[in-house]
Amino acid sequence: MTGDRALADDLLQQVFLQAFRDLDTLRDVGQARAWLFGVAHHRCLDALKARRRAALHFQESPELPEGESRAPTPAEDIDQHRRERALEACLGELSEEVRAAVILRFHDQMTYEAMAEILGEKAATLQARVARAMPVLRRCLESKGMEP
């Protein structure tokens, strides 16, 4: 369904992890196979949706040939440090729950399912928190003179 063997292997692990975690919600053991296929189908759809979203938001850039990387200029270093301080200040204005979700998602690059296990929340709840936090962070950064 995904057309990507590595992604399919990752999804397989997610499916069995979710099945193990949610096994107590299965009411009819005779329907276990259908239930498991349903879980797998939905995880595949989630992955395909995430891939489409990523393709819309990110363009692949050609990599620099070996040996052509350059050190940032002092001005670039100062700008980067200024952006980091502004982001830290804006993150500090978020509630602890929202800040944790944003940091796990973007800094630690965790999936919502992995975040849910760590934070003891539903993946959909964490996804909604992050989605609601992004415009707030954007406005905060813009108020501090940062370009999106």
Cβ-contact 43, 15 below 8 angstroms: yes
Q: Which helix (H) or strand (E) holds 48?
A: helix 32-57
pLDDT tens for the chain, 148 residues: list them: 878 888 888 888 988 888 888 888 888 888 888 888 888 888 888 888 888 887 777 666 666 566 556 788 888 888 888 988 999 999 999 999 999 999 999 988 899 998 998 888 999 999 999 999 999 999 999 999 887 6
Closest CA to 130 of 104, 143, 140, 120: 104
Question: At 105, which amino acid appears?
Answer: R
Cβ-contact 95, 137 below 8 angstroms: no
